[in-house]
Structure 1
Amino acid sequence: MQFDLITTDSSGARAGLITTDHGSIETPIFMPVGTVGSVKAVTQEQLRGDINAQIILGNTYHLYLRPGTDVLRQAGGLHQFNGWERPILTDSGGYQVFSLAANRKIKEEGVVFQSHIDGSRHLFTPENVMDIQRTIGADIIMAFDECPPYPSEYSYAKRSMELTHRWLDRCIRRLGETSPEYGHEQTLFPIVQGSTYKDLRKISAEAIASRNCAGNAIGGLSVGEPEAEMYEMCGLVTEVLPKEKPRYLMGVGTPWNILNNIELGIDMFDCVMPTRNGRNGMLFTWQGVVNIRNKKWATDFSPVDPENPCAASQQYSRAYLRHLFVAGEILGMTLASIHNLCFYLELVKAARVQILQGTFGAWKKQVVPQLQTRL
């Protein structure tokens, strides 16, 4: 993987280019989440078409459970299995340490998960998580970490961070002992942790930077902390992480979260919000947030979002989309998901244009209040 930092706006926002064996990624970028190898309610053709996703995500824990590594290896990796020829990033399962807290046990060796599917038990270690991601075949793979809950006591956050750093060294060592299975390069991103404690975040960022990996991630945020604390932690960490390498903020977030964090120097984002909220009738538009189930849209025959160029936004009215949701039609969830993903990709595309023009800061101040408006 290669990262070229093209320019940095006076506000601190960056525009760059990531090059992988499966194609290039213009940053800042939003990455749709395809946890089990599928972005919910959306086909690969739609992702390649109107949405024009440059990279998507898969999840190591979920893909390990099903379809399983044997199936993925026989298929030739996830790219071949799901028909997605562009770059893929896989999370390591570290987020499931947080989200499945009731069904796991953490120890130095790794994490024992009780499967949410059939109750079977599985040990995830830094070593076998690297092996699983080798078999999945993602272009960018994440180090195995612990994502602590919010709030966490200082002592717990410190122990968790130190465990994440020890696991990182084991991940790096294991990758050095193995090779990609399908002939294309795989790049490891370590993850900064430390909860919302400034000193821990700084220590973790320095530790991660010292490993000299090709890119770096920030985890453990957008887990319930106030937005102001998220921004504070990101600003602190980006001051430490090397400027010549891409920075990935995991699991974030709303459109205004993304723009505010771009200004802090973040290059890559992912979140289930556009598809999850879309399936529940919440649309993100340039004019604000729309609850499409609201009766006020019943006779609004204007486009879903006249400023969003994709077909799902232009060719269907708010009245029709509301009708689909009220009638319980699956098409409503699909159209809303496509619209939201198109919007997120248009958002970061527009941000990139502003960064290249040197006008991002002023543009963001104008746009964010509109995005937050409830229509």
Structure 2
Amino acid sequence: MRFAFQIEARDGRARQGRIDTPRGEIRTPAFMPVGTAATVKGMLPEQVRETGADILLGNTYHLMLRPSAERIADLGGLHKFMNWDRPILTDSGGFQVMSLANLRKLTEEGVRFASHVDGSRHMLTPERSMEIQRLLGSDIVMAFDECTPFPADEALARASMELSMRWAQRSREAFGDRPGYALFGIQQGSVYKDLRAESAEALTAIGFDGYAIGGLAVGEGQELMFDVLDYAPGQLPDDKPRYLMGVGKPDDIVGAVQRGVDMFDCVLPTRSGRTGQAWTARGSVNLRNARHRDDPRPLEEGCDCPACTKYSRAYLHHVVRLDEMIAGMLLTWHNLRYYQRLMAGLRGAIATARLDAFVAEFHALRAQGDIDPI
């Protein structure tokens, strides 16, 4: 079985569909929980699946350093290693390497960098990134690119984009012909429409199984991000999945789906869960606040996750304040379930041509804020 994408319904620019892979179907729009180091922090893989996730994201940079792609390959690949038998997407490592700043040197060949773990020296190139992701066995492989910093003037953004396009060609050649596996190209160009159009044209000419919108969620703010998303998805091939990397907050995702994006990932729901923050239909809730101390009500009425069906706000407040391990486990489960419920709602709304009403209700509920304290 080969990798395939099918659009089943449209509502405006939004699309509802599915990605078929040998390891299972991915319903789109899709949210991918982040399993940076072969684990979604605080969750067992079967629990992540219970939240509704069809696919996870793994991190090339972290896995190449610890325990190493070669070791994972010797142990049967990333799926077996982490006990997840469904699709996995791995990023290229480019974003993490670029964030090392003083620890790396960028050349046409690739990026030479010092490990943040032990200072050991490494070279990451398009060819090496493809090799690492092949050793991991990821189902969706990301081309190696330079994540353009923000802000960037047009000259810098052009140079960065053109380098990424040359690396995209090398990634395509190094990936080769691997039936059942997919390679995604990454559009760059910062906030410049013409540069993003050039990038999309170059990527389309190379030919990829899907296309990511890179260089956003790097500090530009939602308004400017949406300005770019007003045109960027439409510059990419209509018949391939579109993936907005590193996004985001629930209202970011809803706005991006309206603009034609199909796939998302972000550490926010898991990271928030470990710090006592829950995401609900009425916005975020800080369980550290004393207002929850005597509250017997569930975190979110109508949510079917264990945090909401088996525990009170008072209990969640108690374990959060004591930094008990169960606090992060329960709130991470809730947050991932909330995100998957949101994605299911978006898919259903697009399929029935009622996306505008769904989005209006989404914003109206958030505007109400959390339920009144007791």
Residue in 1 that maps onto 2:315? 320
Q: Where does structure 1 differ by over 4 angstroms across 4 or more consecutive aligned residues?
A: none
The aligned residue for residue 35 of structure 2 is 34
In the alignment, does 2:288 pair up with 1:293?
yes
Residues 1:134 and 2:129 aligned together:
no
Instruction: Work out the CA distance in 2 between the residues paired with 1:276 and 1:369.
Output: 26
Instruction: State the distance in 2 between where 1:350 and 1:200 align.
Output: 34
Secondary structure of the 2:323 match is: coil
Secondary structure, aligned partner of 1:196? coil
Amino acid at match of 2:86: R
1:112 equivalent in structure 2: 112
What is the distance in 1 between the residues matched to 2:98 and 2:291?
39
Query: Which residues in structure 2 correspond to 1:198-209 (within 5 Å)?
Result: 198-209=193-204
1:67 is aligned to 2:67: yes
Q: Is the 8 A contact 1:215 1:247 kept in 2?
A: yes
The AA in structure 1 aligned to 2:6 is: D
Partner residue of 1:83? Answer: 83
Conservation of the 8 A alpha-carbon contact between 2:26 and 2:54: yes
Deviations 1:224-271 (A, max 9, x none): 002111111122111111111110000000001001100000000000
1:164 aligns to what?
164
Which of 309, 334, 341 is the equivalent residue of 1:339?
A: 334
- Deviation at residue 372 of structure 1 after TM alignment: 5.8
Check whether the contact 1:304–1:313 (CA below 8 A) recurs between aligned residues: yes
Tell me the equivalent position of 2:49.
48
> In structure 2, how many angstroms separate the alpha carbons of the residues matched to 1:128 and 1:288?
42
Q: Distance in 1 between matches of 2:351 and 2:187?
A: 28
Matches within 5 A, 1:117-196: 117-176=117-176, 185-196=180-191
Distance 1:217 1:202 in 2: 13
Amino acid at match of 1:170: R
Which aligned pairs between 1:303-314 and structure 2 lie closer than 5 A?
303-314=298-309
Structure 1 pair 8–68 and aligned structure 2 pair: CA distance change class (3 A):
same
Letter in 2 for 1:199: D
Query: Matches of 2:302 and 2:102 in 1, distance apart?
Result: 43
Equivalenced residue count is 368
Q: Judge which range, 115-124 or 99-108, deviates more.
A: 99-108
C-alpha RMSD over aligned residues? 1.3
Residues 256, 372 of structure 1: 8 Å contact kept: no
Deviation at residue 374 of structure 1 after TM alignment: 4.7
- Deviation track 1:81-125 (CA, whole Å, cap 9, x = no partner) reads 111000000000111133222321111000112101100110000
Does structure 2 retain, via aligned residues, the 8 Å contact 1:202–1:236? Answer: no
Q: What amino acid maps onto 2:343 in structure 1?
A: V
Amino acid at match of 2:41: K
The question of whether the paired residues in 1 share the 8 Å contact of 2:98 and 2:104 is answered with no
**Corresponding residue for 1:243?**
238
- Given residue 188 of structure 1, which amino acid in structure 2 is its aligned partner? L
Aligned counterpart for 1:354 among listed residues 343, 349, 352: 349
TM-score (norm 1): 0.95
Q: 1:187 to 1:372 in 2, by over 3 A?
A: farther
Deviations 1:256-308 (A, max 9, x none): 10011000000000000000111111111012210111111111111111122
Tell me, what secondary structure is at the counterpart of 1:190? strand
Secondary structure, aligned partner of 1:30: strand
How far apart, CA to CA, are the structure 2 residues paired with 1:40 and 1:233?
A: 32
Q: What residue is the counterpart of 1:7 in the other structure?
A: 9
| Helix, strand or coil at the partner of 1:145 | coil
Which moves more between the two structures, 253-262 or 146-155? Answer: 146-155
Say whether 1:274 aligns with 2:269.
yes
Quick one: percent identity of the two aligned structures? Answer: 47
Q: Which amino acid aligns with 2:169?
A: D
SS in 1 for 2:31: strand
User: Is the alpha carbon distance of 1:211 and 1:373 closer, same or farther for their aligned partners in structure 2, counting shifts above 3 Å?
Assistant: farther
Answer with 200-209 or 297-306: which moved more. Answer: 200-209
Once the 2 structures are TM-superposed, how far is the Cα of residue 167 of structure 1 from its aligned partner?
0.2
Change (3 A) 1:214 1:372: farther
- Alignment match, 1:265: 260
Give me the whole-angstrom Cα distance separating, in 2, the residues matched to 1:319 and 1:89: 38
Q: Distance in 2 between matches of 1:160 and 1:97?
A: 15
TM-superposed deviation, 1:32:
0.1
TM-score by length of 2: 0.96
Distance in 2 between residues matched to 1:13 and 1:143, nearest whole Å: 25
Give the structure 2 partner of residue 16 of structure 1: 17
Contact 1:256 1:371 in 2 (8 A): no
Secondary structure of the equivalent of 1:314? helix
**Alpha-carbon shift at residue 363 of structure 1 (Å):** 1.3
Distance 1:373 1:101, change over 3 A: farther
